[in-house]
Amino acid sequence: MVEVKIENISKKFGDLQALHEVNLDIKDKEFFVLLGPSGCGKTTLLNIIGGLEKQDAGSIYLGDTCIDRLPPEKRDMAMVFQSYALYPHMNAEENITFSLRIKKTPKTEIQTRLKETSEMLGISKLVKRRPSQLSGGERQRVALGRAIIRKPRLFLMDEPLSNIDAKLRVGMRVELTRLQKKLQTTTIYVTHDQTEAMTMADRVAIMHSGKVMQVDKPLDVYQKPNNIFVAGFIGTPPMNFLDCNLEDRKDGGSLKTDAFSFDLPSDMYNLARKVTPSPLIMGIRAENISVSESKKNKDDIQTEVYAIEPLGSEIIYTLSFDNHLVKAKAPPNLLLDIESKVWISIDKTAIRLFDKETGKSIF
């Protein structure tokens, strides 16, 4: 059982607060992703877990033991670096077996495990080559092999896929997930790529300026963002945001932006009403806005096509109305010209509402 408990970790670099009282519970055998834009502190957190950096405050527990005082070499964790960090003066085999040789593992066992690992990763033929003679993807595998062969308690991965080309990355994503499920080793994986996070994670922690914004399953993060940062960060294209206010009426309420307003179902209204009358932000995903060339409902809004991004399976239209821009997904057969007039209809059940001041989600 390898559970990682991160308690109140803070870290400062000079004046920069890299991590601010971070708390996380990572479960046994979990593929846990730390996701966030660059500079959010995710790599720092990973380094602190690995012992490569020291926290200013807080503790890390592996199971029930506090590991704050253990140096990295005694933590029994394996790390895959963004740069792979292969030892340039050793060939692939020596790289992979280095940790075992340091531990003075018997030679026969090293050979068995090397064979097992290199076959698992499909690099048996490359083991005699130096890192400089390997391609990016091959180096990636050797770096993984170096981590896997140790059978560590924990894998730490720092953007391991960011340096290989896009096509290979998609394949490696799947392979890495399968590998982790097979090895059943708890994994903490750092990335800034939300596709990686969504596709690989059991759970994701979204980080922003040294704080954890939300920890949830990938789909929950997408569907029920806790706050406006997560809502805007997850999803391509990002969620559309519009400033709005709540207007009371006798039999409920309506949501009013400067361009349009519509009635809210009573349950949604009641939730929204709980917040003191403050400005709100309405969030709506591109797939919840439907585009048509004629007005179909009374609440439809007239817009003008501002930009077109055909993606093959769908077209993303950027539409403008009253100084607002929203993005909407449309089926690939709906071909519109730029500056043509179209109508959009918003799926009200899919609306997310945020408190403008705190950024917190209301529903």
Partner 1 sequence: MNQRRFLVYICAVLLFVWSIVPIYWVMNQSLMLGSDALYVPAYFFPKDPTLANYYRIFGYSVETKYGTIRPSGFAPQVMKGMINSLLVSIPVTLITMAVATPVGYALGRYKFRSKNLLVMLLLGSRALPPVAIVIPYFYLYQFLGLINTVQGLIIIYTSITIPIITWVLIGFFATLPKDMELAARMDGCGRFTALRRIVIPMASSGLAASAILAFLLSWNEFLYSMILTAGSTAQTLPPVLPAMLFMQFDATALFSATVLTLIPPIFVALFFQKYILQLKLVDPVTV
Whose Cβ is closer to partner 1: residue 84's or residue 233's? 84
Indicate whether 105 belongs to the interface with partner 1 (CB under 8 A). Answer: no
Number of residues interacting with partner 1: please give it, by CB under 8 A: 32
Going by the DSSP 8-state scheme, the letter that residue 288 receives in this structure is G
- Per CB under 8 A, the list member of 72, 237, 238, 359 interacting with partner 1 is 72
Residue 145 CA to residue 160 CA, distance in Å, equals 12
- Per CB under 8 A, the list member of 89, 167, 182, 298 interacting with partner 1 is 89
Q: In which residue are the tokens 């609440």 written?
A: 299
Q: Smallest distance, Å, CB 172 to partner 1? A: 14
Burial group, residue 223, by CB count within 10 angstroms (0-12, 13-18, 19+): middle
Q: Smallest distance, Å, CB 315 to partner 1? A: 34
Q: How far is CA 194 from the centre of its chain?
A: 4
Residues 109-138 that bind partner 1 (CB under 8 A): 130-132, 135-136
Whose Cβ is closer to partner 1: residue 10's or residue 163's? 163
DSSP characters over 36-105: --TTSSHHHHHHHHHTSS--SEEEEEETTEE-TT--GGGS-EEEE-TT----TTS-HHHHHHHHHHHTT-
End-to-end CA gap in the chain: 36
Indicate whether 16 belongs to the interface with partner 1 (CB under 8 A). Answer: no
Whose Cβ is closer to partner 1: residue 88's or residue 106's? 88
Residues 145-164 that bind partner 1 (CB under 8 A): 146, 150, 156, 163
Whose Cβ is closer to partner 1: residue 90's or residue 334's? 90
Q: Smallest distance, Å, CB 257 to partner 1? A: 45
Q: Please say whether the beta carbons of 17 and 46 come within 8 A.
A: no
Q: Enumerate long-range contacts of 106-113, CB under 8 Å, 24 or more apart.
A: 113/149
Indicate whether 81 belongs to the interface with partner 1 (CB under 8 A). Answer: yes
| Region near partner 1 per CB under 8 A, out of 70-78, 119-127, 314-322, 338-346 | 70-78
Ramachandran class of 173: left when φ > 0, alpha when ψ lies in -120 to 50, beta otherwise: alpha
Q: For binding to partner 1 (CB under 8 A), which residues are involved? A: 50-52, 71-73, 77-79, 81-89, 98-99, 102-103, 130-132, 135-136, 139, 146, 150, 156, 163
